[in-house]
Amino acid sequence: MIELRMFEMGLKRKDLAALLNTSASRISDYLNGKREITLNVAKALHQKLNIDSDIILQ
């Protein structure tokens, strides 16, 4: 879902990292399932990308 929204918005991982004030490698870890998305990150994704946080945390 995150990658779909990134595609729709024309965002690259580095762009999302800048929006979330984190590193591109951390974004890659989230997207590749190497790191759990925290509640704060889910909240930021909800606010910045308008993705339902319940979907993100599943």
pTM attached to this predicted model: 0.84
CATH of the domain at 31: 1.10.260.40
pLDDT at 57 over 80: no
Residue 41: which H helix or E strand, with range?
helix 39-49
- Going from the C-alpha of 54 to that of each of 11, 14, 15, 20, 38, the distances in angstroms are 22, 24, 23, 18, 12
Domain count of the fold of the chain: 1
**What's the confidence (pLDDT) of residue 25?**
96
3 vs 58, higher pLDDT: 3
What is the domain range of residue 35?
2-57
* pLDDT 10s digits, 16-55: 999 999 999 999 999 999 999 988 999 999 999 999 877 8
What pLDDT is stored for residue 54 in this prediction?
Answer: 79
Helix (H) or strand (E) holding 18: helix 13-20
User: Are 27 and 13 contacting, i.e. CB atoms less than 8 angstroms apart?
Assistant: yes
